[in-house]
Amino acid sequence: MAYRSALVNVMEAAARKAARGLIRDFGEVEQLQVSRKGPADFVSQADMRAERILREELTRARPDWGFQLEEGGAIAGRDPAYRWIIDPLDGTTNFLHGIPHFAISIGLEHRGEPFAGLILDPVKDELFWAERGQGAYLNNHRMRVSSRAKLADSLFATGIPFHGRGDHARALREISTVMGEVSGIRRMGAAALDLAYVAAGRYEGFWEWDLNPWDVCAGIVMVREAGGLVSEIDGGERALTGGNILAANDKLHTPLRDLLRRAKAEAK
């Protein structure tokens, strides 16, 4: 049985409580698909309800710590050393379309660095969690990144920009460059779960642009505690705040980075 610290227990309790409402709301989405208005407003309300529950529960347990919330913005705490970084519904578009691949992501920042993280996939009942120096776990089992060392054997994940968002040409160049060297590329639509899957060895790596701290904080801790490497796509060290991320096992982080650099060079 994996030992869960008091901190992890606090995070889990908050996530489980918020997840109950999300599961109930997800069950309603299919019924709303046929309405003229559609489920978008309903899902936005579900997102905000989950965020409110997370904030209330975490404040009750750690009243001096601040927040960086996807919906609610930055909230200063009396103790500036710690800050919760939260995405109450990562994979909103999946949720909106009735696709059962979404998660609650709770990250904890200590003095500007990711310190602990918990990602709950409530549909599959998979709880990913990690704390600096304590390892990374899926439910009660230790996670390790994949040991694959060859690009040709490897599966990677990424994000794809959509209407009105992101650099479409860059994404196409990167996918074209990477797909010719690897076993496959997946676009699942939930960055927190993509990072958790790298930590669990399901993917060899993941990269994406145009991300926010609440998308990646929890996952950064997990990948590192599972033995992987995390950086910005160009190799920089500001993965939490730089707006982009490259996470992979220790053998393929550099080869994947080199492929993405090749794609950038080909644009010139």
- Phi and psi at residue 235, to the nearest 5°: 100, -5
Q: How far apart are CA 75 and CA 108, in angstroms?
A: 14
Residue from 77, 64, 87 nearest 218 by CA: 87
Residue from 110, 137, 115 nearest 220 by CA: 115
Structural domain boundaries in the chain: 6-142, 151-266
Q: What percent of the chain has pLDDT over 90?
A: 85
* pLDDT value for 73: 92
What average pLDDT does the segment 218-228 reach?
98
Residue from 175, 141, 145 nearest 157 by CA: 175
Helix segments in the chain, DSSP class H? 6-32, 40-61, 92-96, 168-179, 191-199, 213-225, 253-266
The answer to which of 2-11, 14-23, 39-48, 166-175 has the lowest mean pLDDT is: 39-48
36 pLDDT exceeds 60? no
Q: How far apart are CA 204 and CA 79, in angstroms?
A: 37
Q: First and final CA of the chain: distance in angstroms?
A: 53
Q: Which two tokens stand for residue 177?
A: 């460059």
How many CB atoms within 10 Å of residue 198? 28
Q: Write out the H or E segment, with its range, that includes residue 138.
A: strand 135-138
Residue for token pair 């990250």: 107
What pLDDT band is residue 34 in, cutting at 50, 70 and 90? very low
Two domains, one topology: 6-142 and 151-266: no
- What DSSP line would sit under 230-259, residue for residue? EE-TTS-S-TTTSSEEEEE-TTTHHHHHHH
CATH number of 151-266: 3.40.190.80
* pLDDT value for 70: 85
CATH number of 6-142: 3.30.540.10
What average pLDDT does the segment 74-87 reach?
97
Q: Give the tens place of pLDDT for each residue, 131-176.
A: 999 999 999 999 999 999 999 999 999 999 988 788 899 999 999 9
